[in-house]
Structure 1
Amino acid sequence: MEKLNININKIHHVFISHRHNDHITGIIWIIRAVAQQIINGKYEGNLKIYCHKENVEAIRILSSLLLDKKFTNYIDNKILFVEIDHARKEKILTWDIEFFDIGSTKQLQFGFTTILNDKKKLTFLGDEPYREVLFDYANKADYLLHEAFCLYSQREIFKPYDKHHVTVKEACENAARLKVKNLIMYHTEDKNIVERKKLYTAEGRKYFMGNILVPDDLEVINL
């Protein structure tokens, strides 16, 4: 956020998909930073954290263990949890967001879909691959966010299937079958960050003829 010059006072809505360490621990820093700005009299409005019940419980526990009481005093006051479940709809900024259970067999996890201001459909599938039960959410999306753990050519190195992930090949095949316009691939291995965009795009082009986006860290995508 600091590298992109995003002021913490501008953050009022945060979505947490599931409880894995790489997804949930950052919210503790957000809570602390927002609480400090509230104390300083510089934060207007509330911070809303959208997540399922297990996440709420975990965030409460982590906050109580890691943050001073002067910060946690604002939880349930100016820092609010919005507990989501399957098909829950919320108005966030100018968008109508619908959350959905992705059907993970590892741990309860949610994605979401929305229609942007220009009437384009955006769907986030979480960090596990597309499942058929999610067809209505993903079908004909203008933007589909789909994990791709590694190149198909490197599947024996990174073992994506053992981790409930897929490769560029499957992500692109899913996007093609769903008639997606723009595929955004993320949640990748990080052994070759410099060449990742080029390599993932080249392999993906064999299976999907729409627009392929493999964002680098801090890259901004204009929707």
Structure 2
Amino acid sequence: MKLTMLGTGHAVVTKCYNTCFVLSENQEYLLVDGGGGNTLLTQLERAHIKWQDIKTIFVTHKHLDHITGIFWMVRLITQAMNQNKYEGEVYIYGHDEVIQIIHDVAHMVLQEKETRFIGDRLHLVVIGDGEKKKILNHEVTFFDIHSTKAKQYGFTMQLNDQEKLTCCGDEPYNECNQEYVKESQWLLHEAFCLYSEADIYKPYEKHHSTVKDACLLAEQLKVKNLVLYHSEDQHIDERKRLYSEEGLQYYQGNLFIPDDLESIEI
């Protein structure tokens, strides 16, 4: 399996793209979130991933920097279906609020000849807390992260009998999700900024965490590989080095600070 980070930044970055990524295995793809616009299409192209090959999408929550790019995917897919240039079906997963927004916006901005495929070949699927689906031939369990801002879901993917990959969305880990996060082989977690610069970026006011916070958590929960994203972009050229230097003071596992378009072998 491969993790490709299409974007690694928080909502208002300008030097990188908003956080979204693709998990791929055996020529199948799962897109998680879409960033804030049609730059998603540029990032997919730069990553050499054809948007036509993405048949499964998961949207964590309704914030603009996560959901807006999905509207472009819906537009391209339904247009291609209408032109008989698209093979197969597509499944978009999300909690009830997310799915309702995608449905409503699509019907407001697209033509009927395109929206007629929604519910037919493009499936908007509401998932509940603790619900399981088979994705990329792996069992995936979705869970409510208990956001303090907007309803948001994360997920854990069973890689094999012993190992799992867990995504906590874009807010700090909530201890009520310990069963999903603890002892994950891979943990994808937000880190808004360095702890040493918390007074500058004020992550706690925005309900986010720092590199130090995320690394202490991963160490406590015995996570083997930690991927940090959803970060500020003022240190974009030095971010990998600076975040690693702070994080490895508190975490003994493998720490990844990816740049946009960087891929990691899972």
TM-score between both structures, scaled by the size of structure 1: 0.96
The corresponding residue for 1:114 is: 157
Q: Distance in 2 between matches of 1:193 and 1:67?
A: 36
2:241 is aligned with what amino acid? Answer: K
Q: 2:193 aligns with which of 135, 140, 150?
A: 150
The corresponding residue for 2:122 is: 79
The corresponding residue for 2:61 is: 18
Matches within 5 A, 1:30-45: 30-45=73-88
RMSD of the TM alignment (CA)? 1.2
Q: Name the SS for the 2:45 alignment partner.
A: coil
Q: Give the C-alpha shift of residue 66 in structure 1.
A: 2.4
Q: 1:44 to 1:118 in 2, by over 3 A?
A: farther
Q: Where is the strand percentage greater, Structure 1 or Structure 2?
A: 2
Q: Distance in 1 between matches of 2:157 and 2:114?
A: 32
Q: Give the C-alpha shift of residue 121 in structure 1.
A: 1.0
Q: Name the SS for the 1:71 alignment partner.
A: helix
Q: Distance in 2 between matches of 1:118 and 1:42?
A: 39
Q: Distance in 2 between matches of 1:192 and 1:70?
A: 46
Matches within 5 A, 1:97-176: 97-117=140-160, 119-176=162-219
Q: Give the C-alpha shift of residue 119 in structure 1.
A: 4.7
Q: Contact (CA 8 Å) 2:103, 2:124: kept in 1 or not? A: no
Q: Name the SS for the 2:46 alignment partner.
A: coil
Q: Name the SS for the 1:153 alignment partner.
A: helix
Q: Give the C-alpha shift of residue 36 in structure 1.
A: 2.2
Q: Distance in 2 between matches of 1:28 and 1:140?
A: 35
The corresponding residue for 1:204 is: 247
Q: Distance in 2 between matches of 1:88 and 1:156?
A: 39
Relative to structure 2, which stretch is displaced further, 170-179 or 59-68? 59-68
Q: Contact (CA 8 Å) 1:94, 1:117: kept in 2 or not? A: no
Q: Give the C-alpha shift of residue 118 in structure 1.
A: 8.0
1:26 is aligned with what amino acid? Answer: G
Offset from partner CA, 1:79-113 (integer Å, 9 cap, x none) = 10111111000011211100000111211110000
Q: Distance in 2 between matches of 1:170 and 1:182?
A: 15
The corresponding residue for 1:54 is: 97
Offset from partner CA, 1:161-204 (integer Å, 9 cap, x none) = 00110100000000000000000001101112111111111100
Identity, % of aligned positions? 48
Gaps of 5+ in 2: 1-43
Offset from partner CA, 1:13-57 (integer Å, 9 cap, x none) = 000000111011111100111112212323222110000110011
Q: Distance in 2 between matches of 1:183 and 1:25?
A: 27
Q: Distance in 2 between matches of 1:4 and 1:34?
A: 19
Q: Distance in 2 between matches of 1:14 and 1:113?
A: 15
Q: Name the SS for the 1:58 alignment partner.
A: helix
TM-score between both structures, scaled by the size of structure 2: 0.81
The corresponding residue for 1:8 is: 51
The corresponding residue for 2:20 is: none
Structure with the greater relative contact order (CA < 8 A, sep ≥ 6): 1 or 2?
2
The corresponding residue for 1:180 is: 223
Gaps of 5+ in 1: none
Q: Contact (CA 8 Å) 1:9, 1:42: kept in 2 or not? A: no
